[in-house]
Chain A
Amino acid sequence: MKVLAMDTTTKSATVAVTQDNVLLGEFTLNSDKPHSQKIMPLAEDLLVELGLQAVDIDLFACASGPGSFTGLRIGTAAIQGFSQATGKPSVGVSTLEAMAYTMGEVLDCNICPLIDAKRDQVYYALYKSGTEMIAPSMESIDTVLAQIACLNKKTVFIGDGAEIFKDKIIATSEQFSVCPAQLNVNNAVGVALLAQKKYEQKTALKPFPEYLIKSYADELK
C-alpha cells in the first residue's frame, strides 16, 4: 500500500510517500513562505522524483491538527482534493499523535508532543507505547509541565513547543528530556505510518480540521 501524507499544521510543510510502511521519499520545508505556496509544489515534486502519479497512491493522509488554523485547513483541503480527484480514500490523524509516533512505540517512557500555540500556551498530549495517557488539549506551558511532573515518570518532549521551552522543561524535572533539534521539526513520515496503521485497523478518521480551541475569553482569564 502506497500512502501520501502531509503535515502543514506547524511551521514546517512536509510531504512523504511510504510503501508498505517503508519511506520512499520525504520533502520538508521549514521556511517562512506560506503553506499555501509550498505544499502542492512539494507534493508534485516528490511524486515526479519517485516516478509516481497521484492515481498510483492508495491512501491520502494529513495531520489534521491541532496547530496553525490556516495550516490545518490547507492540509485537510489538499488531501480531500487528492482523494476526490483520484477516488482513493483519505484519512486525518492527530498531529500530536503522529509526532509521538515518530518516536516509535518501543521507548519505555512517556512521550509528550508540544506544539507552540503562542502567548506561552501549547497544544499537548501524553503517550506511552502508543497509548494515549492524556488527551490532546491546550494549556499554558507552566500548567502542562506541573501536571506531567506530578506523574513522576521519565518523559521525552518533542515538537516546536519542546524546542521553544527547552530550558524551562529541563529545569522542571530531572525526569524530563527534550528531543534533539532535528526531531522537533514535524515530518510527514510519522503521519503516513500512523495513517496506514489506523486505516488497516479501521479506526481512522476523516480528514477534518481539529482546531482544539480554547476560547480567547477562557485563555485570557
Chain B
Amino acid sequence: MMKEFVSKSDFDTRQIGFDFGKTLKAGDVVCLTGDLGAGKTTFTKGIATALNVPYEPVSPTFNLVNTYDGDITLHHFDLYRLNDTEDLYSIDFDSYLFSDGIVVIEWPEISYPLLEKYYAVQLEYDGEDRKICIREVFK
C-alpha cells in the first residue's frame, strides 16, 4: 500500500494526518521522516486530533517522548538526540513498542532494527508545496 498527498498548507498537513490517524489501531507504529520544517509535528497533531487527544502535541525533541491519553494512547517520540540503537534501552523503548498505544516516531532511523511492521510517512518540502507519502513496511 502506498498513498501520496500534496499539502499546500499547515491545515492540509494536519487534515492528512487526521485522516490517516482515523485508520490507526492500537499497537500501530508510525515513522515520520523529513527535514526540519517539513511538517512532522503538524502531521502528528492531526493524528492526535483523530484520536480525540484533548491537548495540542508539542515537539518531543527535549523530552524524547510525550504520552497523550486519547481514544487510544499516543506515544510521540523524537529520537534525534539519541546516538544509536543501544540508547533505546535506556529509555525502555520496548515498553512503549509492545504497549496498547500508538507509537509515532520522528527521526526514527535508529529504531528500524527493532521494528517489524510500521507505516513510513515521508514528508518533503520543495519550497512551495509539501509532498506526503505513506506506505506500509513489513520486514
Residues in chain A within 8 A of chain B (CB atoms):
32, 68-70, 118, 211, 213, 215-217, 220
Contact = CB atoms under 8 A, between A and B. Distances in A.
A118 B89 contact: no
Given A70-B95, A118-B94, A216-B114, A32 B89 contact: no
Interface string B62-91: 000000000000000000000001101110
B10 interface: no
Given A118-B94, A211-B89, 17 more contacts: A68-B92, A69-B90, A69-B94, A69-B95, A70-B92, A70-B95, A118-B97, A118-B98, A213-B89, A215-B86, A216-B85, A216-B86, A216-B88, A216-B113, A216-B114, A217-B86, A220-B114
Nearest to B73: A32
Contacts of A213: 89
Contact of B85 (A70, A211, A217): A217
B136 interface: no
Contacts of A32: 100
- Grouping DSSP codes into helix (H, G, I), strand (E, B) and loop, the B interface class, with mixed when no group exceeds half, is helix
**In the complex, which range does the number of interface residues on chain B fall in?**
10 to 19
A12 to B, nearest CB: 15
A216 B87 CA distance: 10
Contacts of A70: 92, 95
A216 B97 CA distance: 14
Contacts of A69: 89-90, 92, 94-95
Contacts of B97: 118
A114 to B, nearest CB: 16
A181 B97 CA distance: 25
A215 B98 CA distance: 18
A204 B85 CA distance: 34
Nearest to A215: B86
Contact of B95 (A68, A216, A217): A68
A185 B95 CA distance: 18
A32 B94 CA distance: 15
B29 to A, nearest CB: 14
Scoring B90, B94, B98 by chain A CB atoms within 10 A of each residue's CB, the highest score goes to: B94
Contacts of A68: 92, 95
B56 to A, nearest CB: 23
B122 to A, nearest CB: 24
A216 B88 CA distance: 9
Contacts of B88: 216
A145 to B, nearest CB: 22
25 contacts: A32-B100, A68-B92, A68-B95, A69-B89, A69-B90, A69-B92, A69-B94, A69-B95, A70-B95, A118-B94, A118-B97, A118-B98, A211-B89, A213-B89, A215-B86, A216-B85, A216-B86, A216-B88, A216-B89, A216-B113, A216-B114, A217-B85, A217-B86, A220-B113, A220-B114
A69 B97 CA distance: 13
Contacts of B90: 69
Contacts of A211: 89
A125 to B, nearest CB: 21
Nearest to B116: A119
